[in-house]
Amino acid sequence: MHPTGDDVTSREVTSSPVSRRRRWLIVVLVIVLLVVLVRGIFFETFTVPTGSMEPGLRPGDQIVVWKIGEDHVHRGEVIVFNATDAFGLAAGDSSNAVVRAIRSAGDAIGIRTDQTDYVKRVIGLPGDKIVVGHDGVLTVNGHAVKEPYLPAGMKASKVPLRVVVQPGCLFVMGDNRPASDDSRNHLGSPGGGCVPIGDVIGKVVLRYWPIGSWERLRS
């Protein structure tokens, strides 16, 4: 049985360029939606704002942050956290409902809109005793810590310190110690300069921009 003219016309309409473009558009939208959802749940991307983590991370570097649970933070890891509570920073004007909505939407899909996110290295975990003597050597719980990520010849800290990290908190420092606003600078604050683990967004796992400096980050 040969197809009628109406059947041929129907097939032509079904496979028309407009119909194919519509199908491709739907596929692309679904892929974009999946990427956004995965990004919001598992990872986020950030731009390094300052030189406090040099030489490992430089201003303008683009990094990938893998979201982690509270039980998966380790000494030596580079993390991104919200410093509003730990360092007494202003979270910005949130009285405007539109501003609040934009921030909430951005956070939900993995696009950080806040200016209080810091990138630092974890030096101490809850209960750790951190000491830097006049010799500039860092010890944690009585054991000297090697810090190969520091610039050559740089001491762990020019200012001696002795701290016991509070429960549920982390003690953090930048790799470029003289130019880093970190836990050392806020020892006298109510939180003692320690970062609540609940404020940790995730750990830095990859620098993907500039392309020539692409690399995984290790402790």
Helices (H), the chain: 5-14, 17-42, 97-108
- Residue 173 pairs with which residues in a beta bridge? 121
120 noted as active-site residue:
yes
**Which is catalytic among the residues 52, 157, 180, 183?**
52
Q: What is the DSSP string of 129-149?
A: EEEE-TT--EEETTEE---TT
**Which is catalytic among the residues 16, 95, 104, 120?**
120
Cα distance between residue 129 and residue 36, in whole Å: 41
Q: How many CB atoms lie within 10 A of CB 171?
A: 27
19 noted as active-site residue:
no
Cα distance between residue 35 and residue 29, in whole Å: 10
Catalytic annotation, residues:
52, 120
